[in-house]
A and B are shown apart, each in its own frame.
Chain A
Amino acid sequence: TQLLEQSPQFLSIQEGENLTVYCNSSSVFSSLQWYRQEPGEGPVLLVTVVTGGEVKKLKRLTFQFGDARKDSSLHITAAQPGDTGLYLCAGEGASNYQLIWGAGTKLIIKP
């Protein structure tokens, strides 16, 4: 069974700090996605990483896919209150374009 574990489950930091959240598995994934969910809304796709070792940047957010394609990380530089939300990683499931979801990291950025 493919599982994705996210850590930490919860992170509360001050505005301006840097942070990294992780998404790990013992299984190999063809690709991994990161979503952000703001309170009271549905998740929104941020990025898809496909190639082992790949690094993608989205403004202050940096996403990395592990060389072995079993893990991924999200690094935020100079966090802002607008970064507050639940960050979810998801990997390709075994069938029919379904996703395997991590439980998420709840991030709070305090002004």
Chain B
Amino acid sequence: DVKVTQSSRYLVKRTGEKVFLECVQDMDHENMFWYRQDPGLGLRLIYFSYDVKMKEKGDIPEGYSVSREKKERFSLILESASTNQTSMYLCASSRATSYEQYFGPGTRLTVT
């Protein structure tokens, strides 16, 4: 079974803090994704990586950065957290030539 794990299920941070969200997959998938999910808005893509050290901006990259130093690990960084970044953050992975994505359990981030 594909397993995608995320470092925290719940996280509370203060405005202005730097926040790191970690995602690890154990199926040797090439593609990894970071989404945020807000009620009524579905899943919105923040960043996508198709290989180590490679990244592409998604639909809403502002205020976020990513790092992929190893194939299995994809990190999302909030450089200076703001209250409008309070959301559910979902990490996913897929094989290089597949659209079928496998998700982690999500991190519910609250910025106060």
8 Å CB interface, B30-48 against A: 31, 33, 40-45, 48
Given contacts A96-B48, A97-B94, contact A33 B99 (CB under 8 A): yes
When chains A and B are docked, how far (Å) is the Cα of A40 from the Cα of B37? 12
Number of interface residues of B (CB under 8 A): 29
Contact A45 B102 (CB under 8 A): yes
Contact A45 B40 (CB under 8 A): no
Other-chain residue from B48, B90, B99, B105 in contact with A31 (beta carbon distance below 8 A)? B99
When chains A and B are docked, how far (Å) is the Cα of A40 from the Cα of B103? 12
- CB contacts (< 8 Å) of B98 on chain A: these are 97
- CB contacts (< 8 Å) of A97 on chain B: these are 31, 50, 94, 96-99
- CB contacts (< 8 Å) of B31 on chain A: these are 96-97
- CB contacts (< 8 Å) of A92 on chain B: these are 99
- CB contacts (< 8 Å) of A45 on chain B: these are 100-102
Contact A104 B105 (CB under 8 A): no
Write the nearest CB–CB distance from A14 to chain B, whole angstroms: 24
Contact A96 B90 (CB under 8 A): no
Chain A 33-69 interface mask (CB, 8 Å, partner B; 1/0): 1000000111111001000000000000000000000
Q: How large is the interface on A (under 10, 10 to 19, 20 to 34, 35 or more residues)?
A: 20 to 34
Contact B100 A44 (CB under 8 A): no
- CB contacts (< 8 Å) of A103 on chain B: these are 40-42
User: Which 9 residue pairs across A and B have the least CB separation, nearest first?
Assistant: A42-B103, A103-B42, A101-B43, A101-B42, A43-B103, A42-B106, A92-B99, A42-B105, A42-B104
Can you list 14 A-B contacts with CB-CB less than 8 angstroms, sorted by A residue number?
A40-B9, A42-B91, A42-B92, A43-B43, A45-B101, A48-B100, A88-B43, A90-B99, A96-B56, A98-B33, A98-B48, A99-B101, A103-B42, A104-B42
Q: Taking A92-B99, A101-B42 as given, write out 11 further A-B residue pairs in contact, using a Cβ cutoff of 8 Å, ordered by the A residue number.
A: A40-B9, A40-B106, A41-B105, A42-B104, A45-B100, A45-B102, A96-B50, A97-B31, A97-B97, A98-B33, A99-B101
B-side residues, CB < 8 A to A, are 4, 9, 31, 33, 40-45, 48, 50, 56, 58, 90-92, 94, 96-106
